[in-house]
Amino acid sequence: MAGYTKSEARDWARERLVGAVNCTIPSFTHDLTRLNERGIRHDIRLAKEHGFVGSLGVSEISITLPEYLDFLEIAKDEAKDDLVIVHHASWSSLEQNIEAVKGAEARGAELVLLSYPPNFYPESEQEVYDYTKAVCDATNLAVILFPMFLWGFSTRIHPSDIPARLIRRMLDDIPNIAVIKAEGGFPSIMGIIECQRLFGDEVVISCPIEGELLPLGQLFPIQLSATSDHEFWGPTIPEAMRLLREEKFQEVTDLYWRMHPARKAKSAVSMQLNGGNFINRQLWKFQGWLRGYNGGPLRLPTQRIHDPQMNQLRKGLLDAGFEPSMDPFREFFAGRNPA
């Protein structure tokens, strides 16, 4: 059970969510029949060591809901009170998402990243409002509202994915919306600028894209970068958030340019592999493996990653002066804690 009430969600978020939240993709045994508890615990321990304030338990892979809830329980047990475990509310239907969020709350999750199912085809703002409110009403946990191009709202609802007038209505009516993950209209930065200007005094505004975070954080305070594949950077993003809070902007700028070769490699590989309006979680798992995270096999259906992309990512990190794993790529598919 979370250590705050529903009406306290926004105050809790303002106080607790200072820093960066990465992603933890579940690990499985080599025969893919069970969760790999050692691999999961390894990833949570490393996230804490790298300085993250929280970690998203990714659900957008081939996993059953009971398995996923067990995964969250393992993650929470390893995290204790040192790391906020974030429930990934990305399931196939509203009914399943309500079941999932209730289960996640019971297993110790403290925060929810709200997504919209692939088969959800709203044609009005009211339908988006109704879905959002139904999920939020089903839990006492703080919720991250997520304007995002993946939902397909931009052509029917508004170019910003979820328009400010609808966000305003949601914030007025749904007290546990405590964070906005401001990617509306991506790759435009207007979404985060608009959310910060209109709603930054009421809820936490998250900037998850590090290439925007490091420049924009020098112009106005950004307390949270959640959720993203920050594990690719090891401890770098939590360190960058600390530098931004201390207004050491030249150090942030120097860090930005140091990261640029790896940033370009990551962007190029993402463009190659992130098709079908779906995030390549195999790619994200490999990115984490390069920085010490578990890696390991994922079930079909899953996306793939091949040698050219793996070499490109590793070379990008080397060119940026980081120290990625130089283990043979076959070790990624086994994982650092094979079971």
Domain chopping of the chain, boundaries: 6-247
- pLDDT (mean) for 7-36: 98
- Distant-in-sequence contacts of 129-134, Cβ < 8 A, 24+ apart: 129/166, 129/169, 129/170, 131/94, 132/170, 132/174, 132/177, 133/170, 133/173, 133/174, 134/94, 134/98
pLDDT, position 1: 75
Average pLDDT for the chain: 97
Q: Give me the amino acid identity at 49.
A: E
Angstrom distance (rounded) from CA 211 to CA 201:
24
Question: Tokens 């709603």 map to which residue?
Answer: 199
Give 105's contacts (C-beta < 8 A, 6+ positions apart): 1, 2, 87, 139, 140, 141
% of the chain beyond a pLDDT of 90: 97
- pLDDT (mean) for 87-92: 98
φ, ψ of residue 149 in degrees (nearest 5): -65, -25
Pick from 61, 72, 58: which is nearest to 102 by CA? 72
Lowest-pLDDT choice from 57-66, 79-88, 250-259, 275-284: 275-284
- pLDDT (mean) for 230-245: 98
- pLDDT (mean) for 72-99: 98
- pLDDT (mean) for 214-239: 98
Q: Is residue 43 over pLDDT 70?
A: yes
Under a CB-based contact definition with an 8 Å cutoff, are residues 85 and 110 in contact? yes
pLDDT, position 19: 98
φ, ψ of residue 8 in degrees (nearest 5): -100, 5
Q: Is residue 263 over pLDDT 70?
A: yes
The tens digit of pLDDT for each residue in 94-147 reads 999 999 999 999 999 999 999 999 999 999 999 999 999 999 999 999 999 999
Under a CB-based contact definition with an 8 Å cutoff, are residues 199 and 167 in contact? yes
- pLDDT (mean) for 66-74: 98
For the chain, the residue count is 339
pLDDT, position 207: 98
Higher pLDDT pick, 241 / 276:
241
Angstrom distance (rounded) from CA 328 to CA 339:
19
- pLDDT (mean) for 255-263: 98
% of the chain beyond a pLDDT of 70: 99
pTM across the whole model = 0.97
Angstrom distance (rounded) from CA 129 to CA 170:
7
- pLDDT (mean) for 219-226: 98
C-alpha distances in Å from residue 16, one per residue of 13, 82, 241, 279, 329: 5, 11, 14, 28, 38
pLDDT, position 276: 67
Q: Structurally, what CATH architecture does the domain formed by 6-247 represent?
A: Alpha-Beta Barrel (3.20)
